[in-house]
Amino acid sequence: MINDEYNLQRFVAAQDPVYIDALDVLRRGMMCSPYIDFIFPRLDDELDVSARDRFGIRSLDEARAYLAYPILGNRYRECVRALSWLADLEISSVFSATDGKKLHSSLTLFAEASNESALREMLDIWFDNLADEETLARLDLTA
């Protein structure tokens, strides 16, 4: 049994019924707004009030636990790989402006929580190799 100190099972429960569809849609070069909060989670305090506490990540340690959680980490990496196949597209053709910002924040959070080059590569491809400053500030990593 996996130690679920951060109640990461909440993400699994949200993803299970829609993950295959979400990945399929992403592979076709789109992303459904209803899925973004639990497919590409980000720091809790920048979430919309409706999603707060439900799909927010509260720390780098929780983000590391998310990536280490076999189902969630593998799914996140699979979605990032799907994004890499869309590298020749403009982010605005795949994500709405709001969802693009959410993706930027999520990639920044998980890139800071890990040494995974694929996350930094997506920041490079779609965000000019710039981390999301708001996320860094919330993590207190700006100076």
Assess if residue 43 is contained within a domain.
Answer: yes
Tell me the pTM. 0.90
Q: What is the pLDDT of residues 28-38, one digit of tens each?
A: 998 888 899 99
User: Does position 41 have pLDDT exceeding 80, yes or no?
Assistant: yes
- Decide if 55 is inside a domain: yes
Tell whether 64 is covered by a domain: yes
- pLDDT digit string, tens, across residues 63-103: 999 999 999 999 999 999 999 999 899 899 999 999 999 99
Q: How confident is the model at residue 4 (pLDDT cuts 50, 70, 90)?
A: confident
Distance separating alpha carbons of residues 69 and 21, to the nearest angstrom = 21
Q: Is residue 58 part of a domain?
A: yes
Report yes or no on 61 lying in a domain. yes
Q: Which CATH number belongs to the domain containing residue 104 in this structure?
A: 1.25.40.380
For residue 3, what pLDDT band results from cuts at 50, 70 and 90? low
Domain that holds residue 37: 9-139
CA distance 2 to 111: 23
Q: Six-digit token pair at 62?
A: 């929780």
CA distances from 14 to 8, 19, 60 (A): 10, 9, 21
Say how many domains are in the chain: 1
pLDDT at 143 over 50: no
For Cα atoms 6, 25, 65, give the angle at the middle one, nearest 5 degrees: 15
Calculate mean pLDDT across residues 122-126.
92
